[in-house]
Amino acid sequence: MWEVAERGIKAVGRETYEGGVPKVLYRDPEGNEISLGRGPG
């Protein structure tokens, strides 16, 4: 996820789902959004 930040895309939200599964929402300077998550374990 550091690579995303190095490209100027800011994390605008974070969630943790059941079992500790993380999800991060990013938004680029143009306003486009993408969310990334990681599976358990």
Q: What is the pLDDT of residue 1?
A: 62
3-state SS of 1-41 is CHHHHHCCCEEEEEEEEHHHEEEEEEECCCCCEEEEECCCC
pLDDT tens digit string along 4-36?
Answer: 778 777 789 999 988 888 889 988 888 888 888
Q: How confident is the model at residue 40 (pLDDT cuts 50, 70, 90)?
A: confident
Between 38 and 23, the higher pLDDT residue: 23
Task: Quote the pTM value.
Answer: 0.61
Q: What is the pLDDT of residue 32?
A: 87
Whether 12 contacts 26, CB under 8 Å: yes
Q: Is 8 left (phi over 0), alpha (psi -120 to 50) or beta?
A: left
